[in-house]
Structure 1
Amino acid sequence: MRILTDIPDEDIEKLDALAARSKRSRAAAIRDAVKLYLVHTADNQDWIARGAGLWKHRTDIGDAVEYQRAMREDRRPYEDI
């Protein structure tokens, strides 16, 4: 389907630069942008469900429960305060 829409010149310049960097057409970049917008807004409003478990495989942030216990006992290193 073809549509006609007005896009500000400054956005067109940015869009063209993005399309050129990825070696795609302006139309392909617009299609991807619309698809991304629809995925993030239309049917996917439950941001809590999307983010749940997102960091579960991270090992560099420590255990949140242990951190809370340390805060309660005030045994955190001073650089964390």
Structure 2
Amino acid sequence: MRTLVDIPDEDIEKLDALAKRHGKSRAAEIREAIRMHLVQNADNKDWIRRGAGYWKHRSDIGDAVEYQRALREDRTPYEDL
């Protein structure tokens, strides 16, 4: 699809510099920006999948539920163990 968009000259200069630095065309940079914008603003639960398991290798937390309870109660996790 082709479209016509008004972009301020200052933004065009920055876009051209970015495209040159990446070795891409202006159009390629705009397509990438649109793609990233759509991904970041999608109404789906991909963020859950991306974030799942971030703390699985942490050995200082122990039981995650107990850790959360301790934080909510404003106490040091596992201080009563």
TM-score range, shorter chain: 0.5 to 0.7
CA RMSD of aligned residues (A): 2.8
Q: Matches of 1:24 and 1:55 in 2, distance apart? A: 34
Q: Matches of 1:29 and 1:17 in 2, distance apart? A: 11
Deviation at 1:18? Answer: 1.4
Query: Partner of 1:62 in structure 2?
Result: 61
Runs of at least 5 residues in structure 2 that lack an aligned partner in the other structure: none
Counting matched residue pairs gives 72
**TM-score (ref. length: structure 2):** 0.61
Runs of at least 5 residues in structure 1 that lack an aligned partner in the other structure: none
Q: Matches of 1:18 and 1:56 in 2, distance apart? A: 34
1:50 to 46, 50, 54: 46
The runs of at least 4 consecutive aligned structure 1 residues that moved more than 4 Å come to none
Q: How many percent identity over aligned positions?
A: 49
